[in-house]
Amino acid sequence: MSALFSEFELGGMTFDNRVVVSPMCQYLAEDGSATDWHLMHLGNLAMSGAGLLIVEATHVSREGRITHNCLGLYSDENEAALARAIDFCRRHGTAKLGIQVGHAGRKASTDIPLRGGKPLPSEQGAWQTIAPSALPYAEGWHTPRAFQAEDFARVREEFVQAAIRAARIGFDLFELHGGHGYLLHQFLSPISNRREDAYGGDLAGRMRFPLEVFDAVRSVWPHDRPLGIRLSATDWVEGGWTLGETAELARELKNRGCDFIDVTTSGLDPRQQIPIGPGYQVPFAEQIRREAEIPTMAVGMITEPQQAEAIIAEGRADFVMLARGMMYDPRWAWHAAEELGVEIPYPAQYARALPSKWPQAFAHRRRTAPKAVGDARQL
């Protein structure tokens, strides 16, 4: 048996395997609404063989978008457009369907990465950004307006309304975006949060608003569907958010009904120094899983079937997440299953492509038995 292709129960829901298509911003929405691109992109990945597909970062308000072209879930039009794509995925795909929801905070009001990703000038429709403190992300970036008393309730309610819309669409899983330097991460890190009130200062103060948002979403998200959060485990900058603080936050989230932590790193400060390599973020998922005793998803240059198999078999994480690896090979899970000697369900229209249905074409390929041990700890 393959560990990677074993079932896993999360928040009362059973996933067919541990392969997750990670959220990937596409920057092709129109006023927050999904387009035919999303129908094609998500529909394709829903048939990838992954156990879970998570829709790209979807924003709770217009001002919370990274760019003019980011997905949103703040209007009836947004909801209807996204429901069209998700209905297609549900009808034809094999993956469970999740959504990542967030607010960009001080990293909002930028151009798309293909055009450099820099802050928008006023003539291109720049808008006022908000953040815990009036500190720009980097030199030359917009200076955000610091949160005022009324902003806490307003933004919290925007998250709630997005969760209600996501439940109505029928998503199986909901993930808050608390990493990559966006709003909830900005509250957590002492680099971006210099507040002197109850929402800043020590760890309890910096965690307060993200925990309030989680509690508010937990109160409306169905309890038979998993609810989790993506966290950057470290800022990779001296004086920033740390792995130890992430573990403490994860324990508190678990106590409040969090079902999983999607563990990533970085994104808060351009001074970050990241030792990138295969599986470079897996140790963070492993430590959070061990210290907080909560299921984790690992991400970060997980590209090879045996690498992914070892991560799950060794108990280093409960799910592996692929983003660029899935763009490069949208049938990665099919190919991984074939390499590991496992047969997984294909969409009915593609069932003839199962290797067992035309074995002559695969006779020259030798399947490799799943390995229970391996080393994916490279940094």
In tens, the pLDDT along 93-121 reads 999 999 999 999 999 999 999 999 999 99
> Which range among 173-187, 245-259, 363-377 shows the weakest confidence by mean pLDDT?
363-377
Q: Give the mean pLDDT of 65-89.
A: 98
Report the C-alpha gap between 132 and 19 in whole angstroms: 35
- Structural domain count of the chain: 1
Report the C-alpha gap between 4 and 117 in whole angstroms: 36
Residue type, 25: C
- Do residues 26 and 327 lie in contact, with contact meaning Cβ atoms separated by under 8 Å? no
Output the domain CATH number for residue 49: 3.20.20.70
Query: Is the residue at 188 inside a domain?
Result: yes
Asked whether residue 156 carries a pLDDT value surpassing 50, the answer given is yes
- Do residues 42 and 56 lie in contact, with contact meaning Cβ atoms separated by under 8 Å? no
- Upper half-sphere CA count for residue 67 (Cβ side, 13 Å): 18
Query: Is the residue at 218 inside a domain?
Result: yes
Query: What's the CA dihedral at 342, 314, 266, 10 to 10 degrees?
Result: 70
Asked if 27 is an active-site residue, the reply is no
Where would I find the H helices in the chain? Answer: 36-46, 76-92, 149-169, 183-188, 203-218, 243-255, 282-292, 305-313, 324-328, 332-339
Largest CA distance in the chain: 69
Asked whether residue 372 carries a pLDDT value surpassing 70, the answer given is no
Query: Is the residue at 162 inside a domain?
Result: yes
Catalytic residue from among 27, 182, 199, 346: 182
Looking at every residue in the chain, the average pLDDT score rounds to 95
Query: Is the residue at 328 inside a domain?
Result: yes
Q: What is the per-residue pLDDT for 367?
A: 52
Q: Give the mean pLDDT of 211-236.
A: 98
Query: Is the residue at 80 inside a domain?
Result: yes
Query: Is the residue at 171 inside a domain?
Result: yes
* Residue-number span of the structural domain to which 308 is assigned: 8-362
Q: What is the pLDDT of residues 30-61, one digit of tens each?
A: 999 999 999 999 999 999 999 999 999 999 99
Query: Is the residue at 297 inside a domain?
Result: yes
Name the pTM for this structure: 0.94
Name the residue with tokens 């909002």.
108
Under the phi-then-psi rule, with left for phi > 0, alpha for psi from -120 to 50, and beta for the rest, what region is 143? beta
CA R_g for the chain: 20
- Do residues 16 and 344 lie in contact, with contact meaning Cβ atoms separated by under 8 Å? yes
Residue type, 258: C
Query: Is the residue at 376 inside a domain?
Result: no
Q: Give the mean pLDDT of 285-307.
A: 98
Asked whether residue 379 carries a pLDDT value surpassing 80, the answer given is no
Report the C-alpha gap between 163 and 165 in whole angstroms: 5
- Percent with pLDDT over 90 in the chain: 94
